[in-house]
Amino acid sequence: MQLVFKLTQFEMNYPRWAQIEALKLVNQEIVDKIRDKMEMKGYSKKITERVRTEFVAIDTDGFIEIDIVSDFEADDGFDVAKMMEDGRKSYTIFPRIKPLLKWIFQGMWFSKHKVEMPERPGDKFVKDVMDEMEDLVQEKLNDNTDQLMESQIR
């Protein structure tokens, strides 16, 4: 006597699932933490809202690449987010057209021939959080993949 069984075939688009899952984890574990640190330091909402993930792809070796972007620019094109992350050297502002720089602060007029801007060390929030959380995100992605495979086998 011979037993014959029909096997059910199924397809799984694992690379697409992994991209979506990795993106979700990066947003939860990295991007949200970067934003939280920026908000605690007093960064404006304009800057914190511009922290995001961008471009998700799987390279030829099977690594998922995700870019984390923080790119708020001032109206004049100055990259504020980069300066906040990397810091800046001290510099001097001189008037371009008139003999004095003039501005209003708290209802009072101020004028100077030049203004010395102090050095500002970078906060390194993006780099620090990425370094701190990368292994955790990898571990969670592995766990979620294991759960997915187990659910498909049952």
Residue 67 forms beta bridges with which residues?
54
So what's the pLDDT on residue 6? 66
Is residue 154 situated within a structural domain? no
Q: From 133, 128, 127, 125, select the one nearest 43 (Cα to Cα).
A: 125
Stated pTM of the model: 0.74
Is residue 101 situated within a structural domain? no
- Give 114-140 pLDDT, tens digit per residue: 999 999 999 999 999 999 999 999 999
Is residue 64 situated within a structural domain? yes
- Give 9-59 pLDDT, tens digit per residue: 666 788 888 999 999 999 999 999 999 999 999 999 989 999 999 878 888
Domain ranges, residue 35: 14-87+122-138
Is residue 111 situated within a structural domain? no
Is residue 69 situated within a structural domain? yes
Residue 87 forms beta bridges with which residues?
121
- Give 65-74 pLDDT, tens digit per residue: 999 988 888 8
The count of domains in the chain is: 1
Is residue 107 situated within a structural domain? no
CA distances from residue 9 to 37, 116, 153 in whole angstroms, order as listed:
48, 71, 12
So what's the pLDDT on residue 4? 73
